[in-house]
Amino acid sequence: MAHGDAVGHYIYPMAAETSQTLGRGLHVLEVVAEAPDGLTVTEISHALGIGRTVVYRLVVTLEQHAFLRRSADGKCRLGLALLSMGRQVQPVVRDVALPALRLLADAVGATAHLTIVDGLEAVAAVVVEPSRSDVHVAYRVGSRHPLEAGAAGRAILAARTAAGRPLDPPWILATNDGPQGAFGIAAPIIAVPGLEASVGVVSLRELPELEVGPRVARAAGEISRALR
């Protein structure tokens, strides 16, 4: 029978091959990643169900290695070391997302994209243009805009607010999407730990929401499942 030490929502295995300290440090990163506004040491302690002194030592160690950063208000947020590691993961996300985005772009006749969060901005991580289209939006990988400024970012914000509950409808529409004033529809990537992202399409023409919205939501669901 397997034995473990259940603490809060987490179970820390006691097998000789595992490190409880490392496990707790990883759980600190997990709970901070789930809190876009950051968490104090006390809040992390409550979330994990372990002592504040233990959490403080973990936070200091993670901060020294740039996995966490603490702001003037005492809240911990993910650090630049994780951002650097995340850049190495991005090609994996791109490879997983490309097939679904290609199908979406060609089915709708509009530029399809996967957008991720970088602080308060939405950043286009993967972009696929339709193979046959007279006119489409030229959307560059790395393009960024405030989260609230387009369908892609609003879909991510809606998923945050929903906190795991399904959106109804499961997509977000924007009629003035981004700096080009395009028409956009996006749906969030959900249930992929550590990833806040959305899948969407942008077009210079108005798209039929009830036809395109479900296609976008299905593509987001396919990519979500492939990344789990």
Q: Each residue of 101-127: pLDDT tens digit?
A: 999 999 999 999 999 988 788 989 899
- Length, in residues, of the chain: 228
Q: CA 137: distance to chain centroid?
A: 24
Domain endpoint, select from 78, 98, 121: 78
Query: How many independent structural domains does the chain possess?
Result: 2
Whether the Cβ atoms of residue 51 and residue 45 lie closer than 8 Å to each other: yes
- 148 and 47, same domain (yes or no): no
Does the pTM exceed 0.85? no
Domain endpoint, select from 78, 104, 124: 78
Query: Coil, strand or helix: which one is 17?
Result: coil
- 15 and 108, same domain (yes or no): no
- 11 and 96, same domain (yes or no): no
Q: Which structural domain, as residue segments, surrounds residue 112? A: 82-227
The pLDDT of residue 80 is 73
The pLDDT of residue 97 is 93
Q: Which residues of the chain have pLDDT under 50?
A: 1-8, 10-14
Q: What is the CATH number of the domain that holds 111?
A: 3.30.450.40
Give all strands (DSSP E) within the chain, no chain letters.
4-7, 10-13, 68-70, 76-78, 111-118, 121-128, 144-146, 172-177, 182-189, 197-203
- 96 and 120, same domain (yes or no): yes
The pLDDT of residue 2 is 37
The pLDDT of residue 135 is 67
- 92 and 203, same domain (yes or no): yes
Domain endpoint, select from 58, 78, 98: 78
- Which helix (H) or strand (E) segment holds residue 107: the answer is helix 80-108
CA dihedral 49, 62, 84, 186 (to 10 degrees): 20
| Ramachandran class of 191: left when φ > 0, alpha when ψ lies in -120 to 50, beta otherwise | left
The pLDDT of residue 15 is 52
